Amino acid sequence: MGRRISVLLLAVLLLAGCSEGGSPMSYSERQAAAAGLDSGLAERSNRLGAKLFGQLWKQGGGNLSVSPYSVAAALALAYNGSAGETAEELGTLLGYAPEERQKLNAAHQALLQLLTDGGPGVQLKIANSVWGMKGLPLRKDYLKTGKDFYNAEIKTTDLTARKSVTQINDWVSEHTEHRINEMLTEPPGQRAVAVLVNALYFKGGWSDIFPEEATEPADFYPPDGTAVQAVMMKRSGYFQYAENEDWQAVKLPYGEGQMEMLVVLPGEDSSLQELADQLAAGKLPLLDDGFASTQGTLRLPRFTASYGTELADALQALGVKRAFDPDLGDFSLLADLGLPVYFSKVIHKTYIDVNERGTEAAASTVIEMLAGSAPPADTPFEMTVNRPFLFMIRDVQTRVVLFLGAIENPLNTD
């Protein structure tokens, strides 16, 4: 079949908590700007994240988290280099047909501009880069798209040399405030064409912190039913709250409310598996429906968890097949080589830390290419998160889900 070509695409998302200060744009100014965005991009990115989460959950559960935005941004960069049936499959997954790529790029450009102005109390930084193989020029149109719409830095290096590992890891570390320091352990190799990187850094604290004096040890019940001693935070007051017979849910805002964490606790007769299935099927309307300002008490465990997995099987299950085919992969809009270019690996890693003052989380995605709830009760609610639960972190104003995950045991950190 001839020599096959590889491309390594690296996407990194980092979120970190407990920030002071913010950017000049006010909440109302940011809300007005968000109203002008292409809402379809957020919806499709979120849908991709939910489906991906569902596929990964089938593989084993545990403390699992993904970054819908990071995966969608990395795939969008790859999509711009694809052609033919490879492009059709990626377009179906991303929700934009090949002839709509200009619309996709414009939507990403507008979203990028707004996300980097997180508003008072929240700091967001996003960076993109394209690392081309020395001596193997990428298509000028592709590079122009990366620069114009994704603000990508264009760099050239020898992807067969050890120094490329250091260069790319240092770039990632710099743009994630040194929270992610090692994405590559080996050079991409002789068949590599490029490395694409998306990095996002978020820093924000709860709008209302959990008082540290209220934190105390408490039982948490993982799936096996054997209680473990978690460090349980506690806060009383008014929350945006919803419930039905299958779950309780609460929103915890960051900054002035432009970002939030949503925590969903399955009911005693439900399970995290049922919630994951409903989420993947688009049958869990948790982002806005049914929430009301309600007085109550929330008990939520501190947790720190890391997660890493290969996404190839999940993405292929979602219909992206030709991009992984060594004979049929077509990324001829990235580089004119006359040879197949295809994904060999898609690796996703995440990290999250939740405490009394806020949230710190990180995620990275590596794509390796070879050539209707019921109204809340009137009485104050009690929500004690002492069993496996679902969470997401999203930008309320743009509606983009930055992070989606599940915690089965808050004591497991790996």
**Which residues lie closer than 8 Å to 246 by C-beta, 6 or more apart?**
266, 267, 269, 270, 274, 275
* Short-list 324, 320, 397, CA closest to 95: 320
Axis-axis angle for helices 68-79, 140-150 (nearest 10): 150
What pLDDT does 261 receive? Answer: 92
Contact 268, 396 (CB under 8 A): no
- Dihedral angle computed from the Cα positions of residues 106, 112, 118 and 124, in that order, rounded to the nearest 10 degrees: 170
What pLDDT does 6 receive? Answer: 56
d(CA 262, CA 258): 13
**What value, to the nearest 5°, has the Cα angle with vertex 109 and ends 107 and 111?**
70
Pairing of strands 292-301, 228-243: antiparallel
Backbone phi and psi for residue 340, each to the nearest 5 degrees, phi listed first? -65, 140
Place of tokens 């379809």: 40
* Short-list 318, 319, 364, 371, CA closest to 344: 371
- pTM value? 0.87
Both structure tokens of 65: 């988290």
Furthest CA-CA distance within the chain: 70
Both structure tokens of 128: 């993109």
What pLDDT does 287 receive? Answer: 62
Per-residue pLDDT of the chain (414 residues; tens, 9 = 90+): 344 455 555 545 444 333 333 445 788 888 999 999 998 999 999 999 999 999 998 888 788 988 888 889 889 998 999 999 999 999 999 999 999 999 999 999 999 888 888 777 777 778 888 888 898 889 999 999 999 999 899 999 998 999 999 998 898 888 878 777 888 888 888 888 888 787 777 777 899 999 999 999 999 999 988 999 999 999 999 999 999 888 999 999 988 899 999 999 999 888 888 888 888 887 765 566 789 999 999 999 998 877 777 888 999 999 999 998 888 889 999 988 888 877 776 777 777 778 888 765 555 555 545 453 344 456 899 999 999 999 998 999 999 998 899 999 999 876
All structural domains of the chain, each given as residue ranges with its CATH number in brackets, are 5-205+305-370 (3.30.497.10), 212-302+373-407 (2.30.39.10)
Contact 244, 274 (CB under 8 A): no
d(CA 320, CA 317): 7
